[in-house]
Amino acid sequence: MKFESGSSLSERPIIVKKKDLKKPSGTDWEKVDAVKDEEIDYSDIPELGDDFFEKATFVPAKQTITIRLDSDVVTWLKEAGKGYQTRANRILRTVMEAQRKKGSSAPGSRNRTGTP
Question: Distances in Å between the alpha carbon of 28 and those of 24, 40, 90, 109?
Answer: 10, 16, 41, 49
**Cα–Cα dist 69/78, whole Å:** 12
| Residue 79 belongs to a domain | yes
| Residue 23 belongs to a domain | no
Q: Count of domains in the chain?
A: 1
| Residue 102 belongs to a domain | yes
- Domain around 69: 60-108
* pLDDT single digits (tens) 46-102: 889 999 999 999 888 999 999 999 999 999 999 999 999 999 999 999 999 999 999
| Residue 7 belongs to a domain | no
Question: Distances in Å between the alpha carbon of 23 and those of 18, 20, 36, 71?
Answer: 10, 9, 27, 40
| Residue 84 belongs to a domain | yes
| Residue 37 belongs to a domain | no
pLDDT category at 7 given cuts 50, 70, 90 is: low
- DSSP3 helix / strand / coil % (the chain, rounded to 5): 40, 0, 60
pTM of the complete model: 0.47
Q: Of 64 and 1, which is predicted with more confidence?
A: 64
| Residue 77 belongs to a domain | yes
